[in-house]
Amino acid sequence: MTGLSRLNITCTSVDCDNPQTPTHCFKPKRGQPGPPGTCRECGADLIDWERVHERDLADVANTFSALENETFRRHMMHAEVPEKVRELALKRGAAELRARTERAVRSALSKRRSQNAYDGRQTPRETSSSARIQHFAQHATATCCRGCLEYLHNLPAEADITEEQLQYCVELAWEYVERRLGPFAGEDGECGRLRLRPGSAQSRLCGGDRVAGILSEAAGDFLGGKRFGEAVCLTGPEVDQIWIAGRATVCAQRRG
């Protein structure tokens, strides 16, 4: 990164002229509204916002690459996860980590901006000793505060947020957690980390029936290291959903 120290990156940093990877900031300037969605410094107009604002989890790969056009998001997408943070996350296990991620997102976003005096400061930065992987995730996915949520995900800071919108934010953050930590073993007796729907990357913990012996090619591909966004879910007359628990267990739930 030219001219920018990694530690000084803030949510309005830009690196528009970087010869390798130019990155920008799409946060509108106060009192100086340029065309919405363009870089506040150089005016670059790079993002298909309509597509991002569909908030479609099946299109999460596109949303992530759109976010990476921002200097700050890109920094957070790739920020080094300190060993202590990684270890703590893995120690928690999938269910607990997922619950903590959800809690962090809810507490950051449930209130309107004007109801939260700390909006913009409620999520610890990666350099803080209280930062956990879910906070890295929130900054990277712009689910850290109502301000970021507004301009990147088109969820107005002064409107009440709906449960569905909150769930979308949780899924984005969880997608980041999984990308950064990689597949890790769920706790004993816990079924599943991923729920694959056709073409979607939606993750859910499940308490479903374990049906041993149903192993899909798609699941095999994922376990082999492919992005799960590319995995195809098998839904058929027999199988409703498939989960992958840890590295080697594949679970499915029968329809009905």
Which residues of the shown chain bind Zn ion in the complex (CB under 5 A)?
A: 14, 16, 24, 39, 41-42, 44, 144-145, 148
User: How many CB atoms neighbour CB 163 within 10 A?
Assistant: 8
CA distances from 224 to 60, 171, 191 (A): 20, 23, 19
- CB of residue 39 vs Zn ion: minimum separation in angstroms? 3
- Record the tokens describing residue 45, joined without a space: 């107009």
> How distant is the alpha carbon of residue 183 from its chain centre?
15
- CB of residue 254 vs Zn ion: minimum separation in angstroms? 42
**Which DSSP string corresponds to 100-169?**
HHHHHHHHHHSS-GGG-TTTTTSS--TTSTT--HHHHHHHHHT-SSHHHHHHHH---TTSPPPHHHHHHH
CB-nearer residue toward Zn ion: 26 or 243: 26
CB-nearer residue toward Zn ion: 66 or 196: 66
- CB of residue 126 vs Zn ion: minimum separation in angstroms? 13
CB-nearer residue toward Zn ion: 16 or 214: 16
- CB of residue 83 vs Zn ion: minimum separation in angstroms? 26
- CB of residue 172 vs Zn ion: minimum separation in angstroms? 13
CB-nearer residue toward Zn ion: 16 or 239: 16
- CB of residue 62 vs Zn ion: minimum separation in angstroms? 20
CB-nearer residue toward Zn ion: 70 or 171: 70
CB-nearer residue toward Zn ion: 44 or 231: 44
- Record the tokens describing residue 178, joined without a space: 């999984």
- CB of residue 121 vs Zn ion: minimum separation in angstroms? 9
Smallest Cα–Cα separation from 5: which of 93, 114, 162, 127? 127
**Which DSSP string corresponds to 65-105?**
HHHTTBHHHHHHHH----HHHHHHHHHHHHHHHHHHHHHHH
> Cα(13)–Cα(65) distance, rounded to whole angstroms?
18
CB-nearer residue toward Zn ion: 14 or 206: 14
- Record the tokens describing residue 208, joined without a space: 């479903």
Smallest Cα–Cα separation from 66: which of 152, 156, 147? 152
3-state secondary structure of 59: helix
